[in-house]
Every structure is written in structure tokens, then in C-alpha cells.
Structure 1
């Protein structure tokens, strides 16, 4: 029985795109024990993935803010001791950064084989000194989707590429996600579309006036826009959009439809929200990639020619719109919603 540690700590979208490697491993090694080292903020989401025995939180973001604290160094020592004590057979760093290679090396004390990326792929972060931490360096064709990059790396590390022939399966526990949403007490409208406007990069955003126009289209069709958020600034934008739309309900909305801003939601609860939506429309960001991972109707909006690298392609109801110098058009979004049967 193999004991395997997957190291992929961030960002949210990258964590989501790594999830299918768990199903790949289990297809070939059904009895394998698979653990995952991930940034603590994403740990609850990874706990939804079938086949992950143990999710090990990695708290680097928090540690960086309190480097002088004895409690921080105590936590770091505890993590190192835990990884060293697990006796992994394989440690696979799917990220290729010094911080993740270093963490993978902590598990090396058990004589585990450490595998990682041997080169940078287009558009992805990679720090070349990581190669000195690895026992096996796997070269990946530079023009490779981020999801396939992880799948190819794991297959090579385990010496078995047969797992790549199977279905892309993210393994998300939809029942647990639905339960997490119910526990929030947020009452869902009968028919809704999730609008994901927030992204960490301003150059990935879709113009706010397009969101307002799309919201009106949905309200006229009797469908409620739901605008989730993660930070205070994102909440302010969600409330601004919903407030503008709801102020005009008498002229644009059908009875029962309104714009909603949910309370702060955990990632499992957000997953439940996306699962129940008639569709999700959003920019290139983690929540949209979760919707695509659920294989629900998803429209991904791009301002760059990067859909080949991060866009969904594993289900017919995932549509990628826009590119460099040609942001996604509202007419194309509306047409996609018609094709989905939402409008």
C-alpha cells in the first residue's frame, strides 16, 4: 500500500485544478493512502475531495505576519515533525515553488521519494532552485493546461501514465457541500445565477456596467442574481450591484426575483451555492473554477488569451469567452445562457 503526500498549497484555482490527481491515483492504486498539504484557508475545500485521507494545513500566509512570535515557530516545528513522522513512500510537489519544495523536503526525512516539476510551463509560477530539493524532476511540455500539468507530474512520479486515460474527476462531495450551505441559514431563491465579479487582479475584471446589464436580463427572466464575496471590498461591490438592481425591480424584475448578497460563506458552503445555481458567470478566479469542477453550467470570462491554460474543457456546459484585446461581450454571455436553457 502506497502512502502519498500531495503538496499544492495555493492559490484557490490551482488547488481546484490539482484535485483530479486524487482520482487518477485511486484508479491505479485503490488502497493508496493520500494526504494533501494545503494552505489552511483552503483546507476545508480539499476535505470535500473523495480519496484524501488527511488534509494537512500549511499556514505560511499567517506565519509570515508573525515571524517573531514563538507560537509561529512552535507551529512550524510541529508541522515538520508531523510530516517526518508519516513515513510517506512518495511526496509530490505539484507547485514548484521554493516554499513548497522546502515543505516537501520536510517529509524527506522518512526517506520518501520527492518528485516535482523539472521546468516552468507557460504562464505558471516556477522557481528553478526547487530542482535541488527533488529526487525526481519531471519535464512538462511548456504549453500545457495547469490541470494536465499536475496529472502528468503525478503519473510520472508514480511510474504509471495509465491514470491519465480516465475521466477528469474532481471528486467533490456534493452532499457535504449542500449540507454546509444549509447550515448557514441562507435562504436561496427558487431560481438563481451566481455572478462572480471579484478577482485579485484588476485587469481580470469585467466592467461593472456589464454586470448591471446582465443582472437586469436575469431579473426580466424571473431569475435572481446571487453575488458572493470573500473580502470587505468585494462585499461592497456586490452590495452596490444588488442595490442598484433591486432599486429597479418594478421596471425590470418579475415577481419573486431579486438580487441577493449572501453572508460570508465557507468554501464548502460556496461550493453548495454553486452546485444549486442554474449557471455561474464569472471572471478567471477560484470560485468559477469550482463551478467548472462541479461540471455545472459555467461561463468563464477572460481578458487575456489564457483560457487554454486555466479554462474548463472537461464538460460540455463550460464555456470560455473573451481574450486579449477582446473582452467577453454581453451578447455572447446571453447566448450561452440561452444555450444552457437558463434564459
Structure 2
């Protein structure tokens, strides 16, 4: 059975789509699974050994130069890659017009089916027009967890029950040589940055928790992804004697950072969810986003704190650290 998964972005959503692969192979061991994903996330998807082929999608880059011959050639090659295999099932678990178009471009086997979401979940970016190419659409509850949403779609189509916790099946990243910035001793990482200011935790809280970890002899690493986030990291580090601002990281460097952490503390952002997917000791902080949507609920090594409009306190985080360390 040939299966194509279409989940192109964003980082956290790609991570939350991973358990579908283990689900399928548990119930259909002979399945060949391909995955279409934005080119920036291909290395991450390749860490899942159950994915046979990763097909890069570069719409974010292509749309900047749609009239260029090079871009048109790349788009043609992408279309041809979708038609190298006859797919028995094509699943769009994102539910956008762009992912529906990718679904439509894929070559179906004679009895093949295109399947996706029948409806939005609360607060999702679902586009109803995405149903236009479906063979059939799978309804999900409006408050279905981000991980469970895709799992439900695929399980319904393939006729199996979801009777196990989410299994991300991510292999350890291999980064050679070992980066100089990666400590030999156990470290904590603070995923403090997020695009939306309302989702950030108070600076004073981060500083207090860093001091607690310093008393344990644990260094704190501060990653960043944009110039403004770098400034924020530097401002935090100036007030944390045990903190190190990291250099600009590649995707695989960031995955390695999450994978090797003795403790990850982070707001609702993709890198926090990667740490949780690896079942690292992780504290997820929900400040201004609903916890039910993305909380790590598959491992006792993940503690979820706060909720939309109910940010966690320092004492909440201290108690979680005492449990995890």
C-alpha cells in the first residue's frame, strides 16, 4: 500500500503529525509512506525511519519568483515527483487550499482515495475549500488535540482504532562534528522566544528559574531564531550567571539541542514541542494559547503548566522541576 502524507508546515504542526507514521505501520506493516513538507523541515521528517521518501515543497520560496525559469523548473520537478508513485491513499492533514492542490497533483492508483479534514478545530487555520478534491472528508471534534486530529483522519480511513499513546518514532539527530556550543554536562534549555508577544513568559520568571538551576550547577542555553529574539536572549543572559546565548542554529542543530537537553522549559512553540516529542524532561508553558490544543500528554516526562490567560507561576515551574529532576 502506497500512502502520501501532506503536511507542509509549520514546525510544531509537522512534529505533531509524526505519530501518524507509527500508527500506520503498526496496523499496515507493509505500507510505504511518503511525505510532502516545506523544504526547511525535510531534515526533521527524515529523522522518522518510517518515512520512505520526503518530497520537499518550496512554496514560500517559489512565490517570491514565480516568473523565473528556475522556479518554474523546480515546480515542474515537484509535480513530477508527486506522480512517480501511484498512491492508494493521499492524506491532507493540514486542510488548506495549498495542501489540497498538492493532494490533487499526486498520482492516484485506480482505486485510490484523497482524504482530509471535514471541518475546522477551534482556532485552527482550516480552509473549507480544501475539501474540493476529497474522495471523502473525516469529521473531527472541534476541540481535538493537534496530534490526535491527523491520527483520527488516517485511522478512520484505514479502519483501525487509536488504542495507543502518540509515538513520534524520531531517531536521534546526527550532527558531526559535535558542536562547540553543546555542553558535555547536563544542561537546561529555555525556549523563551515566540512570534507572538502575548505567549511569552515574564522575564523576571525566567531569571528566577535560571538562578534555581544555577544552584544545581546546571547551565542554561538560550537559542534564538531572529535578530529580535537574539537581543532578548542576550538581555536574559546578562541577568543569568549560568546562561549561554547560542549561535544561530540550523534545523538539525536545534533538534540536537532539544534532544540532548536534561531539561527543556519553553513556551508554546515548535522547539518546545520537539523536546516533548523526544520525551525529554519538558515543561510546557501556556501563557496565551489554549493548553488542550498542543499539550504533551503522551509521557510522564512532560509537564504542562498554565492555560490561555492563566500563565504559570514561578512556583508552578519550581514544583515541575522538582518532579522531573
Q: Tell me the distance in 1 between the aligned counterparts of 2:44 and 2:245.
A: 21
Partner of 2:196: 201
> Is 1:266 matched with 2:250?
yes
Q: Tell me the distance in 2 between the aligned counterparts of 1:264 and 1:53.
A: 30
CA contact (8 A) 2:19 2:169 kept: yes
Partner of 2:170: 172
| TM-fit CA distance, 1:108 | 4.1
| TM-fit CA distance, 1:110 | 5.4
Instruction: Please give the secondary structure, in 1, of the residue aligned with 2:33.
Output: strand
Partner of 2:208: 213
Instruction: Please give the secondary structure, in 2, of the residue aligned with 1:291.
Output: helix
> Is 1:245 matched with 2:240?
yes
Q: C-alpha offsets along residues 178-212 of structure 1, whole Å, 9 cap, x if unaligned?
A: x3275433341512111001112111111222222
| TM-fit CA distance, 1:305 | 5.6
Q: Tell me the distance in 1 between the aligned counterparts of 2:190 and 2:184.
A: 14
- Compute the TM-score of the two structures, normalised by the length of structure 2: 0.95
Partner of 2:84: 85
Q: C-alpha offsets along residues 260-308 of structure 1, whole Å, 9 cap, x if unaligned?
A: 1222223333222222222100100000001111111111111236111
CA contact (8 A) 1:181 1:270 kept: no
Instruction: Give the gaps of 5 or more residues in structure 1.
Output: 247-257
Q: C-alpha offsets along residues 58-82 of structure 1, whole Å, 9 cap, x if unaligned?
A: 1011112222322112211111111
Instruction: Please give the secondary structure, in 2, of the residue aligned with 1:280.
Output: strand
Q: C-alpha offsets along residues 208-235 of structure 1, whole Å, 9 cap, x if unaligned?
A: 2222222222112211011112222222
Q: Tell me the distance in 1 between the aligned counterparts of 2:276 and 2:96.
A: 26
CA contact (8 A) 1:48 1:268 kept: no
Within-5 A mapping of 1:40-189: 40-108=39-107, 111=110, 112-158=112-158, 160-162=159-161, 164-174=162-172, 177=173, 179-180=174-175, 182-189=177-184
Instruction: Please give the secondary structure, in 2, of the residue aligned with 1:42.
Output: helix
- Compute the TM-score of the two structures, normalised by the length of structure 1: 0.90
> Is 1:289 matched with 2:273?
yes
Aligned Cα RMSD in Å?
A: 1.6
Q: Tell me the distance in 1 between the aligned counterparts of 2:108 and 2:25.
A: 25
Q: Tell me the distance in 2 between the aligned counterparts of 1:30 and 1:56.
A: 21
CA contact (8 A) 1:229 1:235 kept: yes
Residue 201 and residue 181 in structure 1: after superposition, are their counterparts in 2 closer, same or farther (change >3 A)? farther
CA contact (8 A) 2:168 2:277 kept: yes
Instruction: Please give the secondary structure, in 2, of the residue aligned with 1:326.
Output: coil
CA contact (8 A) 1:281 1:299 kept: yes
| TM-fit CA distance, 1:47 | 0.5
CA contact (8 A) 1:152 1:161 kept: no
Instruction: Please give the secondary structure, in 1, of the residue aligned with 2:87.
Output: coil
| TM-fit CA distance, 1:240 | 2.2
CA contact (8 A) 1:84 1:110 kept: no
Q: Tell me the distance in 2 between the aligned counterparts of 1:125 and 1:72.
A: 27
Greater percentage in helix: 1
CA contact (8 A) 2:88 2:108 kept: no
Instruction: Please give the secondary structure, in 1, of the residue aligned with 2:189.
Output: strand
Q: Tell me the distance in 2 between the aligned counterparts of 1:318 and 1:28.
A: 27
Partner of 1:232: 227
